[in-house]
Chain A
């Protein structure tokens, strides 16, 4: 074990994203820590890192292999790209807080986990883009930065989710804290963002909205809401929500409709970020938002079940 690993272990502390049971007492190297030597669990560190990378790959590969995403690396408005990168930060911290830890209320640890996930996202994206020969020494600096930065966002989210979904922590599912209303809406936003980010860059989103008539759009709204509601309350997946004696329409108004509005807002934000709405009138913009809001709604509903 190196001094670096010791530092990482010390920085992460117990119950962190990378080291679930990192009991930092000292290092086994011949340095000043040797006195309290307890062997550092390098395997756990590597496992945590591996989960993060696996998550990043699982969730970000579809975007890394999408042509429009490569183009956006240089075509995307720099201000909007910067805004996306900044918005990602609190989002990652929120996810880390919600799934990275249990009841401990330590934002410091959450921020640490979020930053590690962001780093994994950046490194994984750079490696994958390099592997596909999308980054060459001839690539312009702005293009180079833009491509990696843009791909790092879904990869970082994936890295955090990888910890929760790929982890074999047995008490993870059982000990889930009862989530508040705000946390529920936040997780819906994460789920919606995830699917929206996947699809917003593609031309198909606006093409579908151009092909649709207003009646198709209305049907899409109805279907989005029905699917969202059914996913969580009717089909009774693992993690589904029970109504008991609460009438169904209560849940519809309190959870499903706000969730759908969140999915639409996230969809609008993604389309705007990627410049899909530039110069567009309000009706075509609304139609594309509804089209992208459909996968967003499914993502939001799924997030309530999975996360």
Chain B
């Protein structure tokens, strides 16, 4: 039983094969172009982190404060500690909570929450991303 061991690619296929093929080529080319452009514009990029409080609600054991960490930079930040402090007046720290976000990808945002036992509404809140490392 001597048979050709594989399938043979036909020389003149149905037009749909060429259409699919050319569409795919265009798609891959566009993607490559986008990355190329990104590569040329994002040299020496660094993460630009900002923390925004989105909601605050009482829970069974205190108060929960939801936030969004946004990275507007073109580089991903890893291990981002988000520190929230409740300040009485100017200096005195009433409560301090921290949570670490594994990754904040470039031009992306990640949601998180801090849980306080005191009511954050009664104090001045200071919340920020206190650092990052390279992934």
Q: Determine the chain A residues whose CB is within 8 A of the CB of B102 once the complex forms.
A: 203
Instruction: Please tell me if the beta carbons of B35 and A280 are within 8 angstroms of each other in the complex.
Output: no
Known pairs A258-B20, A261-B24; A279 contacts B110 (CB<8 A):
yes
B91: CB under 8 A from chain A?
Answer: no
Q: Are the C-beta atoms of A257 and B76 separated by less than 8 Å?
A: no
Bitwise interface map of B from 66 to 82 toward A, beta carbon under 8 Å scored 1, else 0 = 00000000101010000
- Highest count of chain A CB atoms <10 Å: which of B1, B20, B107, B109: B20
Output the residue of B4, B6, B16, B107 with the most chain A CB within 10 A.
B6
The chain A residue with its CB closest to the CB of B25 is: A257
Ordered nearest first, which 5 A-B pairs have the shortest CB separation? Answer: A214-B39, A281-B107, A210-B135, A284-B105, A253-B21
Q: For B3, what are the chain A residues with a Cβ–Cβ distance below 8 Å?
A: 174
Q: Which residue of A lies closest to B135 (CB)?
A: A210
Chain B residues near A280: list those with CB within 8 A.
Answer: 105, 108
Which of B's residues lie within 8 Å of A, judged by CB?
1, 3-11, 13-14, 16-18, 20-25, 27-28, 31-32, 34-36, 38-39, 42, 74, 76, 78, 102-103, 105-111, 135
- B76 lies within 8 A of A284 (CB): yes
Q: Identify which of A240, A242, A255, A280 gathers the most chain B CB atoms within 10 Å of its CB.
A: A280
Docked-complex contact A241 and B21, CB < 8 angstroms: no
Given known contacts A214-B38, A246-B11, is B31 in contact with A286 (CB within 8 Å)?
yes
Chain A residue numbers with a CB within 8 Å of B31 are: 221, 264, 286, 290
Chain B residues contacting A264 (CB-CB under 8 Å) are 31
Q: How far is the CA of A257 from the CA of B39 in the complex (A)?
A: 23
How many angstroms from the CA of A225 to the CA of B103 in the assembled complex? 29
Q: Which of A199-253 contact B (CB under 8 A)?
A: 203, 206-207, 210-211, 213-215, 217-218, 221, 225, 236, 238-246, 250-251, 253
Q: Least Cβ distance of B100 to chain A in Å?
A: 15
Contact A214 B42 (CB under 8 A): yes
Residue of A nearest to B39 (CB): A214
* Cβ A283 vs Cβ B24 within 8 A: no
Query: What residues of chain B lie closer than 8 Å to A215, measured between beta carbons?
Result: 39
Quick check: A281 and B108 within 8 Å, CB to CB? Answer: yes
Query: How far is A185 from B16 in the complex, measured between Cα atoms in Å?
Result: 12
Contact with B along A249-275 (1 / 0, CB 8 A): 011011101101100100000000000
A221 x B28 contact (CB < 8 A) = yes
Q: Which residues in B have their C-beta under 8 angstroms from that of A139? A: none
**How big is chain A's contact interface, by range?**
35 or more
Q: A174-B1, A181-B16 are in contact. Are A283 and B76 (CB under 8 A)?
A: no
Determine which of B13, B23, B106 lies in contact with A281 in the assembled complex, contact meaning CB atoms within 8 Å.
B106
Task: Known A-B contacts: A254-B17, A260-B24. Give 15 more (CB < 8 A).
Answer: A178-B7, A210-B76, A221-B32, A236-B6, A240-B6, A241-B7, A242-B8, A244-B11, A245-B11, A253-B24, A254-B21, A257-B28, A258-B24, A281-B107, A283-B34
Closest CB in chain A relative to B79 CB, distance in Å: 12
CB–CB B103/A210 < 8 A: yes
The CA-CA distance from A206 to B105 in the complex, in Å, is 9
A43 at the A/B interface (Cβ < 8 Å)? no
What residues of B have a CB within 8 angstroms of the CB of A282 in the complex? 107
- The CA of A217 and the CA of B78, in the complex, are separated in Å by 19
**Set of chain A residues within 8 Å of B24, measured between Cβ atoms:** 253, 257-258, 260-261
Given contacts A280-B105, A284-B106, are A254 and B18 in contact (CB under 8 A)?
A: yes
* A218 touching B76, Cβ below 8 Å: no
Answer yes or no: A179 CB below 8 A from chain B CBs: yes
Interface pair B108/A279, CB less than 8 Å apart: yes
CA distance A241 to B10 in the complex (A): 10
12 contacts between A and B (CB under 8 A): A179-B7, A210-B76, A210-B105, A218-B39, A238-B5, A244-B8, A279-B108, A279-B111, A281-B108, A284-B76, A284-B108, A287-B35
Whether B28 and A261, one on each chain, are in contact in the complex, defined by CB atoms closer than 8 angstroms, is yes
Interfacial chain A residues near B111, Cβ < 8 Å: 279
Contact check: which of A207, A210, A242 meets B6 at CB < 8 Å? A242
Q: Most B CB atoms within 10 A — which of A203, A215, A255?
A: A255
